[in-house]
Amino acid sequence: MDQNRFLDEVKSQIKSVEAKKLITRELDYHIRTEKKRWVEKGIPEAEAEEKAVKQMGSPLKLGQHFNKIHRPQIDWWLTILLVITLGFGFLPMFSSNLDTGHFALYKVIITLIGISITLWLMLFDYTKLKKYKWLLYNFGLFILFMLLFGPTDFTNGLPTIRVGPLTIEGTMALPFFYISWAAFFRSEKASFWKLGILFVVPLYLFLLIPSLSTTFIYIMMVFIMIWWSTLHRMKTIIIVLLTTLPISIYLFLGWIYAREYQKERLLAFLNPEEYAYTGGYLYLRIEELLSGAGWFGHFTNKEFIPSAHTDFVFVSFTYQYGWLFAIVLVAILSMLMFRMLLVIRKVKDPFGKMLVLGGITLFTVQFVYNIGMILGFLPLTDISLPFISYGLMPTLLNSIIIGTVLSVYRRKDLIITTKLQC
């Protein structure tokens, strides 16, 4: 049997198109290697090819074996948890003083867009993203430049760009940096100074916007990814220190030159009772609502809650449905987070691992900070609760995260076990 016929019979037993391409390359490499070895022993080329093919074994059994172990898979646990979380995301639409029909309709549209992006990314071959790292990085910079110098509106004091019904904010740059950084950290050509510059430029633009919450998420994402990258540990520490120092100076000077109302926001977090009628009002109001929620909530009592469906959605959710439902929600989001952590252990591809790690960091920072600020452990800011807060941008960001993780999991067994020669 010649090589081409052998490969065709093997491929006939494999259902996955992606697996066929991968296995064909791998078997072709093995056959060519063995063929070369026989030729070097003085055996004619045609006979050497036949011997090399014969060494591979039965093409039918080999194809069935590869079909079993090399096939795209769906992480059903992560998918089920995502569906449950999306379902919980509709509950706040009926738990506050909103135009229920209007907001529920847009929530349906936003959710469908999120699901579509998640499914598309899951089916997309994530390994192809590596070659687009510079395009993705530069597009992230483009979004930030447009927010700083383009035709912008202002929402909650931050610049936004309106494109028809779509409102683009600084958060939308994060997924582009997330994917590009995963590729940078797995590149053998990544140098110490190059990584430092690539990190500082977006950081500077985020600070100019200024969106401290998005800046914080970006810093945490890069720091976690760089710590687990292949970069030498000492270089990693130096990059962290060199970037932490100017950020600390920036925050120090920012405090000195901050306006009175800006300082009051932080002081109100530390001592809300002293600023009960100004900056501390929200802290005290949130504490009052949470303490009065009870186990089963007050669904019929339509209390006014500021940003009830966005940043403070956990407050409205807890007050209307009670602590029992709130604990269940936190448990589901926690399981979603831990499920992504488990995926890392099953992925062998370094780029895939880095994508999952970056996705977990983005998701966890949002989740932990939002719950932490509502419970009074962290200052109030505009960080959303993943998939629960209303809004297209937060949904897009987290849909990209989950879709990318599902794509990595789906191809975790589609790995090349040998160094192939193309």
Which residue among 41, 69, 97 closes a domain? 69
What is the pLDDT at residue 419? 40
Q: Are residues 43 and 80 in the same domain?
A: no
pTM, entire model:
0.83
pLDDT at 398 over 90: yes
User: Tens digits of per-residue pLDDT, 261-283?
Assistant: 667 777 888 888 888 878 788 88
d(CA 36, CA 38) in angstroms, rounded, equals: 5
Q: Are residues 139 and 253 in the same domain?
A: yes
Q: Are residues 135 and 64 in the same domain?
A: no
Q: Are residues 317 and 345 in the same domain?
A: yes
* Most confident range, picked from 37-51, 189-203, 313-327: 313-327
Residue type, position 383, single letter: I
Which residue among 19, 48, 69 closes a domain? 69
What is the pLDDT at residue 213? 87
Q: Are residues 85 and 10 in the same domain?
A: no
What is the pLDDT at residue 115? 95
d(CA 72, CA 15) in angstroms, rounded, equals: 10
pLDDT at 202 over 80: yes
Q: Is residue 419 part of a domain?
A: no
pLDDT at 295 over 50: yes
Q: Is residue 418 part of a domain?
A: no
Q: Measuring CA to CA, which residue among 64, 62, 67, 61 is closest to residue 31?
A: 62
Q: Are residues 331 and 256 in the same domain?
A: yes
Between 180-189, 317-326, 328-337, the lowest mean confidence (pLDDT) is in 180-189
User: Tens digits of per-residue pLDDT, 336-395?
Assistant: 999 999 998 888 888 999 999 999 999 999 999 999 999 989 998 888 999 999 888 889
Q: Are residues 47 and 136 in the same domain?
A: no
Q: Is residue 125 part of a domain?
A: yes
Tell me the C-alpha to C-alpha distance, in Å, between residue 42 and each of 31, 48, 349, 377. 17, 9, 39, 76
In terms of pLDDT, which residue wins out, 43 or 177?
177
Taking residues 222-239, what's their average pLDDT? 76
pLDDT at 411 over 80: yes
What is the pLDDT at residue 307? 78
What is the pLDDT at residue 160? 81
Q: Where are the beta strands (DSSP E) in 25-165?
A: 153-155, 158-163
Taking residues 289-308, what's their average pLDDT? 81
Boundaries of domain holding 111: 76-410
Q: Are residues 253 and 176 in the same domain?
A: yes
pLDDT at 420 over 70: no
What is the pLDDT at residue 190? 62
Q: Are residues 293 and 205 in the same domain?
A: yes
- Give me the number of domains the chain comprises: 2
Q: What is the mean pLDDT of the chain?
A: 83
Q: Is residue 404 part of a domain?
A: yes
The H-assigned helical ranges of 166-312 are: 174-185, 192-208, 212-227, 233-257, 260-270, 281-291
What is the pLDDT at residue 225? 87
Q: Are residues 406 and 323 in the same domain?
A: yes
pLDDT at 96 over 60: no
Q: Are residues 20 and 51 in the same domain?
A: yes
Q: Is residue 191 part of a domain?
A: yes
User: Tens digits of per-residue pLDDT, 20-62?
Assistant: 777 777 788 888 888 888 888 788 888 887 778 788 878 787 7
Q: Are residues 96 and 65 in the same domain?
A: no
Could you tell me if 60 and 8 are in contact, meaning their C-beta atoms sit under 8 angstroms apart? Answer: no
Which residue among 69, 100, 117 closes a domain? 69
Taking residues 296-324, what's their average pLDDT? 84
